[in-house]
Amino acid sequence: MKRLIPALMVLAGLAAPALAGPAQDAQIAAYLTAAKAADPGFAGFSAARGKAFFMADHTGGKPDTPSCTSCHTKNVTVAGQTRAGKAIDPMALSKTPDRFSDPAKVEKWFGRNCNSVLGRDCTPAEKGDVLSWLVSQ
Amino acid sequence: MNTPRTIPVWDAALRQFHWLLVAAMALAAVTGFLLNATWLAWHVAGGLTALALVLFRLIWGFTGSTHSRFASFIPRPADVVAHLKSLTHRHHTAHAGHNPLGALMVLALLAVVLALAVTGLGVLGGMLKQGPFKSLLSFAAGRSFREVHELAAWTLLAMVVAHVAGVFYESRRARDNLARAMLTGRKTLDAAALAARHNQITASAARPRAALALSAGLAVLVAIPAIMGLKAPPQGVPPATLDPAYVKACGDCHMAYPPSLLPAARWQEMMATLADHFGEDASLSAADAASISAYLAANSAEHWDTLAAHAFATNTSPEPLRLTTTRFWQRLHGGIPDAVFARTSVATKSNCAACHGDAASGLFAPQMINVPKE
């Protein structure tokens, strides 16, 4: 039993999104507060839901960009490319360690890109889901 | 005494000058008339070589051997008239060196090549902000030089045709291959021509050391102002680097376009429509938008004298914010297949920097074009 506890702790450590640092954690926590404010019954973020949202084709946005993957590609561990030809660093935190560390930048790009893809702002719940997934990648 | 004799006429330096000039001008002509601007470096190399050769020829005209010297062949008007009259007669007098018409053609060719080189440097300086005149000439001046340069180029082409026709005609008439004479240096002359040569032309020995010294002196005289001109800042050229705040705000999705590519009114339009920016939302915070608008207004096309600034300042495209729809852009990129723009490293026509190594400066020098292979 004494040996089992550290082993379990190692396993738990491997399973958890251990990549996220304090900045990313704070960002997700801020979205959680906002999500709970919008919906008091909000149960928490889901990486699986975030992944599905990221991969899905949406309507309501601009015709050239129906999905996050239009520019970021379906593989978030490789570089994407903007429609104007610029490379976008991989969205996965494991590949781009300073991702989501600047709250202003995160909000700037969610603001622009949600409007381009969905034609509206994303909800704090959607942002938190996507971030939860991306920091685990 | 009446038997024709084969004697040396053209010295080795003159012959080398002639054929090197042919090669240099052929390079300049092919790159200038037939090929696009990406060949500019070769065109300039041909022109500068021709300039150096002509300057040497001017020196050799005073230091070369007999028939290289201007004194031996610059004709008097009476000589030209007499020669013209003799053309209609059956009989002829062969000339050891240049005949009077040929001599006039030689002088005219030298003058036109010199004019081409000088006006070419004028185009380079004024329009492309390169070379020794880049700090002295405006774009408008460069464009005037281009008109003269083009006129001179067509004139030279016609003169070369006349020169070759004259050589052909005179070779038949004198029964001596003049083109071969320019290779071997030797002409076969009859007794009358030999006598005329002896009586009318003062024989002079080549003075290669004097020629070398004069060439070196002239080279220094030309090089000093040329280097000063090359070191001087070009006229009306925007700074080589863009404002970092502008690059940060606008350079994440696309190359940060130099502000010199659009007039101020168009930039204002661009900044007012960022919410639908070529099909995407590119909104900026109010503070960023204000500072970037100010930067763009202060550095717009009206403020610079580069070719791109002039071309895009008078932009009459129905979609004026999209540079690739302008007639200017399409004329210069018309020959490029769509497959090139589809390459991964290019992605889109609006990605100037994919091929233009100096896109950020707004200069777009033809020599800086390097189309990626994939």
Distance CA A123, CA B8 (A): 95
Tens-place pLDDT, residues B111-125: 999 999 999 999 999
Contact residues on chain B for A119, CB-CB shorter than 8 A: none
CATH topology of domain B5-231: Fumarate Reductase Cytochrome B subunit (1.20.950)
Does residue B311 or residue B315 have the better pLDDT? B311
> B348 by DSSP, 3-state: which?
coil
ipTM of the prediction greater than 0.85, yes or no: no
Q: Whose CA is closest to B188, among B5, B10, B3?
A: B5
pLDDT more than 70, % of chain B: 98
What CATH number is given to the structural domain containing A65?
1.10.760.10
Name residue B8's beta-bridge partners: B186
Distance CA B234, CA B238 (A): 9
Cα B232 to Cα B40, B41, B131, B296, B365: the distances in Å are 22, 21, 10, 26, 18
Establish if A96 belongs to a structural domain.
yes
- How would residue A78 be classed by pLDDT, with cut points 50, 70 and 90? very high
Question: What's the whole-number average pLDDT of chain B?
Answer: 92
Task: Indicate which of B280, B345, B346, B352 best probes the interface with A, i.e. most A CBs within 10 Å of its own CB.
Answer: B280
Direct distance between the N- and C-terminal alpha carbons of chain A, in angstroms, rounded to an integer: 32
At residue B344, φ and ψ (nearest 5 deg) are -55, -40
Q: Residue B293: how many CA atoms within 13 Å on its side-chain side?
A: 17
Domain ranges for chain B: 5-231, 244-368
Contact A85 B351 (CB under 8 A): yes
pTM: 0.84
Establish if A11 belongs to a structural domain.
no
The angle formed by the CA atoms of residues B271, B277 and B283, to the nearest 5 degrees, is: 60
User: Which whole number is the average pLDDT over B215-240?
Assistant: 94
Which chain A residue shows the shortest CA-CA distance from B343? A85
Please name the amino acid found at residue B21: L
| CB nearest B280 (choices: A81, A86, A116) | A116
- How would residue A5 be classed by pLDDT, with cut points 50, 70 and 90? low
Q: Which domain holds residue A80?
A: 45-137
Establish if A2 belongs to a structural domain.
no
For position A93, what pLDDT does the model report? 92
Contact B280 A85 (CB under 8 A): no
Please name the amino acid found at residue A17: P
Mean pLDDT check: name the lowest of B30-34, B299-303, B346-350: B346-350
Establish if A26 belongs to a structural domain.
no
What number of residues does chain B have? Answer: 374
Distance CA B91, CA B88 (A): 9
Residues B299-338 as b/e (b if ≥16 CB within 10 A, e otherwise) read bbbeebbbbbbbbbbebebeebeebeebebbeebeeeeee
Establish if A132 belongs to a structural domain.
yes
Q: Over 70: is that where the pLDDT of A119 sits?
A: yes
User: Which whole number is the average pLDDT over B241-264?
Assistant: 92
Which chain A residue shows the shortest CA-CA distance from B251? A86
Which chain B residue shows the shortest CA-CA distance from A63? B279
Establish if A4 belongs to a structural domain.
no
Please tell me the total count of domains within chain A: 1
Tens-place pLDDT, residues B180-214: 999 999 998 888 888 888 888 888 899 999 999 99
